[in-house]
Protein backbone atom coordinates (compact mmCIF):
# COMPACT_ATOMS: atom_id res chain seq x y z
CA UNK A 1 0.00 0.00 0.00
CA UNK A 2 1.14 3.57 -0.55
CA UNK A 3 2.38 5.76 2.31
CA UNK A 4 -0.24 8.49 1.90
CA UNK A 5 -3.30 6.73 0.53
CA UNK A 6 -6.33 8.59 -0.69
CA UNK A 7 -9.65 6.85 -0.21
CA UNK A 8 -10.29 6.22 -3.91
CA UNK A 9 -6.80 4.82 -4.52
CA UNK A 10 -6.93 2.62 -1.45
CA UNK A 11 -10.38 1.34 -2.44
CA UNK A 12 -9.06 0.47 -5.89
CA UNK A 13 -6.10 -1.49 -4.47
CA UNK A 14 -8.27 -3.41 -2.03
CA UNK A 15 -10.97 -4.22 -4.56
CA UNK A 16 -8.27 -5.47 -6.95
CA UNK A 17 -6.97 -7.80 -4.21
CA UNK A 18 -10.50 -9.07 -3.55
CA UNK A 19 -11.09 -9.68 -7.25
CA UNK A 20 -8.36 -12.34 -7.19
CA UNK A 21 -10.15 -14.41 -4.53
CA UNK A 22 -11.94 -17.58 -5.53
CA UNK A 23 -15.44 -18.53 -4.39
CA UNK A 24 -13.78 -21.23 -2.26
CA UNK A 25 -11.52 -18.59 -0.61
CA UNK A 26 -14.56 -16.50 0.27
CA UNK A 27 -16.52 -19.46 1.62
CA UNK A 28 -13.64 -20.73 3.79
CA UNK A 29 -13.03 -17.25 5.15
CA UNK A 30 -16.73 -16.86 5.97
CA UNK A 31 -16.67 -20.03 8.05
CA UNK A 32 -13.62 -18.87 10.02
CA UNK A 33 -15.02 -15.36 10.46
CA UNK A 34 -18.31 -16.74 11.79
CA UNK A 35 -16.49 -18.83 14.38
CA UNK A 36 -14.30 -15.92 15.50
CA UNK A 37 -17.16 -13.41 15.54
CA UNK A 38 -19.41 -15.72 17.58
CA UNK A 39 -16.73 -15.76 20.29
CA UNK A 40 -16.98 -11.97 20.70
CA UNK A 41 -18.75 -10.94 23.92
CA UNK A 42 -20.26 -8.08 21.88
CA UNK A 43 -22.20 -10.65 19.85
CA UNK A 44 -22.61 -13.33 22.52
CA UNK A 45 -24.49 -10.88 24.75
CA UNK A 46 -26.48 -9.19 21.97
CA UNK A 47 -30.24 -9.54 21.68
CA UNK A 48 -30.33 -7.65 18.37
CA UNK A 49 -27.56 -7.43 15.76
CA UNK A 50 -27.71 -5.29 12.64
CA UNK A 51 -25.71 -7.03 9.95
CA UNK A 52 -25.56 -7.39 6.15
CA UNK A 53 -25.51 -10.14 3.56
CA UNK A 54 -22.10 -10.40 1.93
CA UNK A 55 -21.98 -10.55 -1.85
CA UNK A 56 -19.25 -11.34 -4.32
CA UNK A 57 -15.77 -11.33 -2.80
CA UNK A 58 -16.77 -9.62 0.46
CA UNK A 59 -15.75 -11.57 3.56
CA UNK A 60 -18.62 -14.02 3.98
CA UNK A 61 -21.37 -13.28 6.49
CA UNK A 62 -23.93 -15.96 5.69
CA UNK A 63 -22.66 -18.57 8.15
CA UNK A 64 -22.59 -15.90 10.85
CA UNK A 65 -26.13 -14.70 10.08
CA UNK A 66 -27.50 -18.23 10.36
CA UNK A 67 -25.55 -18.94 13.55
CA UNK A 68 -26.79 -15.74 15.21
CA UNK A 69 -30.36 -16.53 14.23
CA UNK A 70 -29.98 -20.10 15.54
CA UNK A 71 -28.90 -18.61 18.90
CA UNK A 72 -32.14 -16.63 19.07
CA UNK A 73 -30.54 -13.29 18.20
CA UNK A 74 -32.79 -10.91 16.28
CA UNK A 75 -30.83 -10.09 13.12
CA UNK A 76 -31.67 -6.96 11.17
CA UNK A 77 -30.52 -6.63 7.57
CA UNK A 78 -30.35 -3.46 5.49
CA UNK A 79 -32.61 -2.60 2.60
CA UNK A 80 -31.04 -0.03 0.27
CA UNK A 81 -33.37 2.88 -0.42
CA UNK A 82 -33.37 4.99 -3.60
CA UNK A 83 -31.40 7.77 -1.85
CA UNK A 84 -28.78 5.23 -0.57
CA UNK A 85 -30.06 5.42 3.00
CA UNK A 86 -30.82 2.11 4.70
CA UNK A 87 -34.16 0.76 5.85
CA UNK A 88 -34.09 -2.49 7.88
CA UNK A 89 -35.93 -5.81 7.92
CA UNK A 90 -35.63 -8.94 10.05
CA UNK A 91 -33.57 -11.83 8.73
CA UNK A 92 -35.81 -14.89 8.48
CA UNK A 93 -33.34 -17.21 6.73
CA UNK A 94 -31.66 -17.43 3.33
CA UNK A 95 -34.87 -18.48 1.60
CA UNK A 96 -36.33 -15.06 2.48
CA UNK A 97 -33.64 -13.05 0.67
CA UNK A 98 -34.21 -11.46 -2.72
CA UNK A 99 -32.00 -9.79 -5.32
CA UNK A 100 -31.92 -6.02 -5.12
CA UNK A 101 -30.18 -3.24 -6.99
CA UNK A 102 -26.39 -3.10 -7.08
CA UNK A 103 -26.30 -6.90 -6.85
CA UNK A 104 -27.28 -6.88 -3.18
CA UNK A 105 -29.34 -9.50 -1.37
CA UNK A 106 -32.03 -8.11 0.92
CA UNK A 107 -34.76 -9.54 3.13
CA UNK A 108 -38.16 -9.67 1.45
CA UNK A 109 -40.13 -9.21 4.70
CA UNK A 110 -41.75 -6.17 6.28
CA UNK A 111 -39.70 -2.99 6.42
CA UNK A 112 -39.00 -1.68 9.90
CA UNK A 113 -37.85 1.85 9.07
CA UNK A 114 -34.48 3.59 9.08
CA UNK A 115 -34.52 3.95 12.87
CA UNK A 116 -34.81 0.20 13.54
CA UNK A 117 -31.00 0.07 13.72
CA UNK A 118 -31.22 2.04 16.98
CA UNK A 119 -32.37 -1.19 18.68
CA UNK A 120 -29.13 -3.01 17.81
CA UNK A 121 -26.68 -4.01 20.52
CA UNK A 122 -24.04 -4.56 17.83
CA UNK A 123 -23.73 -3.44 14.22
CA UNK A 124 -21.68 -5.46 11.73
CA UNK A 125 -20.39 -3.03 9.14
CA UNK A 126 -19.18 -3.86 5.67
CA UNK A 127 -15.82 -2.41 4.81
CA UNK A 128 -12.70 -2.62 2.71
CA UNK A 129 -10.13 -1.77 5.37
CA UNK A 130 -9.54 -0.60 8.91
CA UNK A 131 -6.46 0.96 10.45
CA UNK A 132 -4.92 0.95 13.93
CA UNK A 133 -7.18 3.81 15.04
CA UNK A 134 -10.29 1.84 14.10
CA UNK A 135 -10.98 4.02 11.07
CA UNK A 136 -13.06 2.01 8.60
CA UNK A 137 -12.90 2.45 4.85
CA UNK A 138 -16.24 1.70 3.21
CA UNK A 139 -17.13 1.56 -0.45
CA UNK A 140 -17.91 5.27 -0.62
CA UNK A 141 -21.68 5.23 -1.08
CA UNK A 142 -22.35 6.91 2.27
CA UNK A 143 -25.10 4.49 3.37
CA UNK A 144 -23.35 3.45 6.57
CA UNK A 145 -22.15 7.00 7.26
CA UNK A 146 -25.85 7.87 7.54
CA UNK A 147 -26.49 4.89 9.81
CA UNK A 148 -23.59 5.82 12.09
CA UNK A 149 -24.68 9.47 12.19
CA UNK A 150 -28.23 8.32 13.09
CA UNK A 151 -26.88 6.18 15.93
CA UNK A 152 -24.77 9.05 17.25
CA UNK A 153 -27.63 11.57 17.05
CA UNK A 154 -29.87 9.21 19.03
CA UNK A 155 -27.19 8.57 21.65
CA UNK A 156 -27.16 4.88 20.76
CA UNK A 157 -23.85 3.14 21.49
CA UNK A 158 -23.89 -0.28 19.86
CA UNK A 159 -20.64 -2.17 19.35
CA UNK A 160 -19.38 -1.48 15.82
CA UNK A 161 -17.63 -4.48 14.28
CA UNK A 162 -16.16 -4.89 10.80
CA UNK A 163 -15.33 -8.23 9.16
CA UNK A 164 -12.26 -8.19 6.90
CA UNK A 165 -9.52 -10.28 5.36
CA UNK A 166 -6.20 -10.16 7.24
CA UNK A 167 -4.43 -7.99 4.65
CA UNK A 168 -7.20 -5.37 4.90
CA UNK A 169 -5.99 -4.23 8.32
CA UNK A 170 -3.74 -1.45 7.02
CA UNK A 171 -1.37 1.15 8.41
CA UNK A 172 -3.60 4.12 7.68
CA UNK A 173 -7.03 4.94 6.32
CA UNK A 174 -7.66 8.62 5.60
CA UNK A 175 -10.09 9.90 8.24
CA UNK A 176 -12.67 12.57 7.58
CA UNK A 177 -14.80 14.40 10.16
CA UNK A 178 -17.87 12.22 9.45
CA UNK A 179 -15.95 8.94 9.94
CA UNK A 180 -16.79 6.94 13.07
CA UNK A 181 -14.21 4.48 14.44
CA UNK A 182 -15.23 0.87 14.88
CA UNK A 183 -15.02 -1.05 18.17
CA UNK A 184 -13.37 -4.15 16.70
CA UNK A 185 -12.25 -5.85 13.52
CA UNK A 186 -12.56 -9.60 13.01
CA UNK A 187 -10.27 -11.28 10.48
CA UNK A 188 -9.42 -14.93 9.91
CA UNK A 189 -6.23 -14.26 11.90
CA UNK A 190 -7.98 -12.90 14.99
CA UNK A 191 -9.76 -10.02 16.64
CA UNK A 192 -8.41 -6.54 17.21
CA UNK A 193 -10.20 -4.04 19.46
CA UNK A 194 -10.05 -0.25 19.36
CA UNK A 195 -10.77 2.37 21.99
CA UNK A 196 -12.23 5.74 21.12
Q: Please give the C-alpha separations between residue 18 and each of 168, 170, 181, 187, in angstroms, as whole numbers.
A: 10, 15, 23, 14
For the segment 52-79, the average pLDDT, to the nearest whole number, is 95
Q: Between the CA of residue 48 and those of 96, 121, 154, what are the distances in Å?
A: 19, 6, 17
pLDDT digits (tens, 9 = 90+) for 157-177: 999 999 999 999 999 998 887
Taking only the tens place, the pLDDT of each residue in 41-54 is: 989 889 999 999 99
Domains and their CATH numbers in the chain: 7-193 (3.40.50.10420)
Q: Mean of the per-residue pLDDT values for the chain?
A: 91
Amino acid sequence: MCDEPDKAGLRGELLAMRSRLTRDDVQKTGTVLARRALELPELADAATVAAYVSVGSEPGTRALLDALRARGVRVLLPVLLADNDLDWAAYEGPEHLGRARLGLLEPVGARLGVRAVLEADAVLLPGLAVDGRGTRLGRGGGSYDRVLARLEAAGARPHLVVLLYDEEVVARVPREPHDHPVSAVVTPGGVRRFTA
